[in-house]
C-alpha cells in the first residue's frame, strides 16, 4: 500500500450509509413533530414536546450523521483504519433503540424517572461509550499530530460527559443525590453537548475539509489552536462551577466570553480559508456550509443577548434561549450537515459503484449522483424557514411559526429525497 492513501483504510459502505439514512429520517420525523407542536415554542418553559424534538434533532439527526461521517473521515484525518466496524454497527443499533425509548419518555410528558427514560438513557449511553471507545482507540493508533485529531478526541470525551450528566440530571431530579439546582445541571449538559461535542467536532472536520474542498494551502492553524485552548477552558470552568456552591455570577460570564472568543477564532479561520480559496465557485455543498457558518455568527450574537435575559430585550421569558438554541441546532448544525452531506455521501456511493471501473468505462461524476436543483431548492426553503422562525419568535406570531415549521418540513422532505436518490443509486454506465 502506498503511504498517505486513505482508500484502503476506508470503512465499508454498509457502516457509513445507514447513519445518513437514519439521520435523514430523524430530521423528517423531528420536522413533523415540530409542525404539530410549533405553538410550544412560544411557551414560558421549555416543555416536553420541545425536548422531544430537540433530542431527536441532536441525537437522531446531528449526532447520527456525525457518527457516520466520522467513521469515513477518521482514515482521512488520522490515516488509520476505524478500530472496529462491528462496534460501529452495535453503536448504531443501541443508539436507534435508545432514541426510540427516550423520545417516548419525553412524549410521556412526565419529568420523572420513568422506565422509558432509564431504558432509553442507558441504551444511548451504551452507544456513546462504544462510539467514544471506537474513536479514541483509532485516534491512539494514529501517528498523525494534526489539530483536527485533538479536536476529535476532546469532542468525543465531552460527548461521554454530556450523556452521563444528562442521565445524572434525571436521576438527581428523583433522588436528590447532589444538592445542585437541576436548571444548572441542564445548562451544563447543554453546554457540554452543544459546545463540547458538536462544536469541537465541527471545528475538527472543518479544519480538514474546508481547505481541502476549497483548495487552500496555507491556513491560519494558530487560530484553531487558540480556539482549542479558549473553548476548552470555557467548558471546563462551566463544568466545574456547577458542582461548586454559590459560584459568583461573573464566572459564568467569563467562561462564555472564553467560548465566544474561541468561536470567533474559528470563524476567522474560515473567513481566511474562504477568502484565499483557489476554487472561487462554490458548489451546493459548500454554499449550504457557508450559510451554516453565517448562522453561527447570528447564534453567537443571540447567545450573547441571552446573557441579558429575555425581559431586558422586551421578549417573553425564555424566548431568547429558544431563539439561540434554534439558531444553533436548526441553523448552524443543520446547515452544515445539509451541506457536508453532499461532500461525503455521494463519494462513498460513487467509490462503491465506480472505483473499479474508472479508466475502463466512462463513469458518471460524483455530482451526478444527486440533484443539484433539489439541493438548491432546500437551501432556499431552509433559509426561508429560519427567517420565518425568527420573525415568529420575535413578534410572537403563531401563523408565521406554522409556516416556518412547514418550510422546515419541506426542507427535510426534499433533502430526504436527495439522500434516498444517492443511497438507492442505480449503477450508470455511460
Contact with other proteins (CB under 8 A) among 5, 178, 311, 428: 5
Q: How far is Cα 55 from Cα 61, in angstroms, rounded to an integer?
A: 9
- Looking at beta carbons only, is 177 or 430 nearer to other proteins? 430
Determine if 47 is a binding residue for other proteins (CB under 8 A).
Answer: no
Contact with other proteins (CB under 8 A) among 254, 347, 352, 417: 347
Contact with other proteins (CB under 8 A) among 225, 356, 373, 398: 356
Which residues share a beta bridge with 53? none
Q: How far apart are the first and last CA of the chain?
A: 30
Determine if 217 is a binding residue for other proteins (CB under 8 A).
Answer: yes
- Looking at beta carbons only, is 184 or 221 nearer to other proteins? 221
Determine if 52 is a binding residue for other proteins (CB under 8 A).
Answer: no
- Looking at beta carbons only, is 45 or 217 nearer to other proteins? 217
CA-CA-CA-CA torsion sign (21, 24, 26, 32): negative
Determine if 145 is a binding residue for other proteins (CB under 8 A).
Answer: no
Residue 418 grid coordinates: 436527495
Q: How far is Cα 65 from Cα 201, in angstroms, rounded to an integer?
A: 12
- Looking at beta carbons only, is 55 or 208 nearer to other proteins? 208
Nearest of 71, 222, 78, 66 to residue 149 by alpha carbon:
78
272-291 footprint of other proteins as x/- string (CB under 8 A): ------xxxx----------
Contact with other proteins (CB under 8 A) among 7, 115, 176, 222: 7
Candidates 12-20, 235-243, 292-300, 361-369 — which segment interacts with other proteins by CB under 8 A? 361-369
- Quote the least distance from Cβ 145 to other proteins, whole Å: 12
Contact with other proteins (CB under 8 A) among 13, 76, 113, 251: 76
Determine if 429 is a binding residue for other proteins (CB under 8 A).
Answer: no
Residue entry with cell 433503540: 97
Contact with other proteins (CB under 8 A) among 22, 51, 77, 127: 77
302 touches 324 (CB < 8 A) = yes
Candidates 76-84, 96-104, 127-135, 373-381 — which segment interacts with other proteins by CB under 8 A? 76-84
CA angle 340, 378, 351 (to 5 degrees): 40
- Looking at beta carbons only, is 150 or 402 nearer to other proteins? 150
CB-neighbour burial class of residue 277 (10 A; exposed 0-12, middle 13-18, buried 19+):
middle
262 touches 350 (CB < 8 A) = no
CA-CA-CA-CA torsion sign (178, 181, 186, 192): negative
Q: How far is Cα 197 from Cα 156, in angstroms, rounded to an integer?
A: 6
Residue entry with cell 474561541: 262
Which residues share a beta bridge with 358? 361
CA-CA-CA-CA torsion sign (340, 341, 342, 344): positive
- Looking at beta carbons only, is 279 or 427 nearer to other proteins? 279
CB-neighbour burial class of residue 371 (10 A; exposed 0-12, middle 13-18, buried 19+):
middle
Determine if 314 is a binding residue for other proteins (CB under 8 A).
Answer: no
Determine if 6 is a binding residue for other proteins (CB under 8 A).
Answer: yes
Contact with other proteins (CB under 8 A) among 8, 45, 145, 426: 8
Contact with other proteins (CB under 8 A) among 358, 387, 428, 429: 358
Binding site for other proteins (CB under 8 A): 2-8, 10, 72, 75-77, 79, 212-213, 215-217, 278-281, 347, 350-351, 355-356, 358-360, 365-367
Amino acid at each position: 500500500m502506498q503511504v498517505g492513501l486513505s482508500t484502503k483504510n476506508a470503512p465499508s459502505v454498509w457502516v457509513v450509509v445507514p447513519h445518513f439514512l437514519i439521520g435523514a429520517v430523524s430530521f423528517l420525523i423531528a420536522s413533523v413533530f415540530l409542525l404539530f407542536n410549533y405553538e410550544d415554542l412560544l411557551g414560558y418553559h421549555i416543555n416536553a414536546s420541545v425536548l422531544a424534538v430537540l433530542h431527536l434533532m441532536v441525537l437522531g439527526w446531528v449526532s447520527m450523521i456525525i457518527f457516520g461521517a466520522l467513521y469515513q473521515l477518521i482514515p482521512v484525518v488520522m490515516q488509520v483504519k476505524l478500530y472496529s466496524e462491528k462496534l460501529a454497527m452495535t453503536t448504531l443499533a443501541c443508539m436507534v433503540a435508545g432514541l426510540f425509548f427516550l423520545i417516548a419518555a419525553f412524549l410521556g410528558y412526565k419529568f420523572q424517572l420513568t422506565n422509558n427514560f432509564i431504558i432509553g438513557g442507558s441504551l444511548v449511553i451504551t452507544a456513546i461509550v462504544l462510539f467514544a471507545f471506537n474513536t479514541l482507540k483509532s485516534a491512539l493508533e494514529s501517528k498523525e499530530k494534526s489539530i483536527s485529531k485533538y479536536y476529535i478526541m476532546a469532542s468525543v470525551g465531552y460527548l461521554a460527559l454530556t450523556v452521563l450528566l444528562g442521565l445524572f440530571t434525571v436521576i438527581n431530579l428523583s433522588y436528590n443525590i447532589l444538592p445542585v439546582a437541576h436548571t444548572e445541571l441542564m445548562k451544563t449538559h447543554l453546554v457540554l453537548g452543544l459546545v463540547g461535542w458538536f462544536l469541537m467536532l465541527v471545528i475538527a472536520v472543518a479544519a480538514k475539509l474546508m481547505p481541502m474542498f476549497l483548495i487552500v494551502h496555507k491556513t491560519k492553524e494558530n487560530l484553531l489552536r487558540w480556539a482549542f485552548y479558549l473553548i476548552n477552558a470555557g467548558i471546563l470552568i462551566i463544568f466545574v462551577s456547577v458542582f461548586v456552591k454559590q459560584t459568583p455570577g461573573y464566572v459564568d460570564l467569563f467562561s462564555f466570553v472564553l467560548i465566544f472568543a474561541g468561536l470567533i477564532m474559528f470563524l476567522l479561520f474560515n473567513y481566511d480559508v474562504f477568502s484565499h480559496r483557489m476554487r472561487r465557485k462554490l458548489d451546493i455543498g459548500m454554499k449550504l456550509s457557508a450559510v451554516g457558518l453565517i448562522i453561527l455568527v447570528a447564534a453567537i450574537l443571540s447567545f450573547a443577548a441571552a446573557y441579558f435575559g429575555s425581559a431586558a430585550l422586551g421578549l417573553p421569558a425564555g424566548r431568547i434561549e429558544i431563539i439561540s438554541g434554534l439558531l444553533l441546532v436548526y441553523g448552524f448544525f443543520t446547515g452544515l450537515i445539509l451541506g457536508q452531506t453532499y461532500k461525503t455521501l455521494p463519494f462513498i456511493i460513487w467509490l462503491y459503484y465506480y472505483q473499479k471501473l474508472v479508466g475502463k468505462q466512462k463513469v458518471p461524476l460524483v455530482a451526478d449522483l444527486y440533484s443539484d436543483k433539489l439541493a438548491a431548492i432546500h437551501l432556499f426553503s431552509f433559509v426561508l424557514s429560519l427567517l420565518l422562525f425568527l420573525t415568529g419568535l420575535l413578534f410572537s406570531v403563531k401563523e408565521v411559526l406554522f409556516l416556518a415549521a412547514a418550510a422546515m418540513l419541506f426542507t427535510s422532505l426534499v433533502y430526504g429525497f436527495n439522500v434516498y436518490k444517492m443511497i438507492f443509486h442505480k449503477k450508470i454506465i455511460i
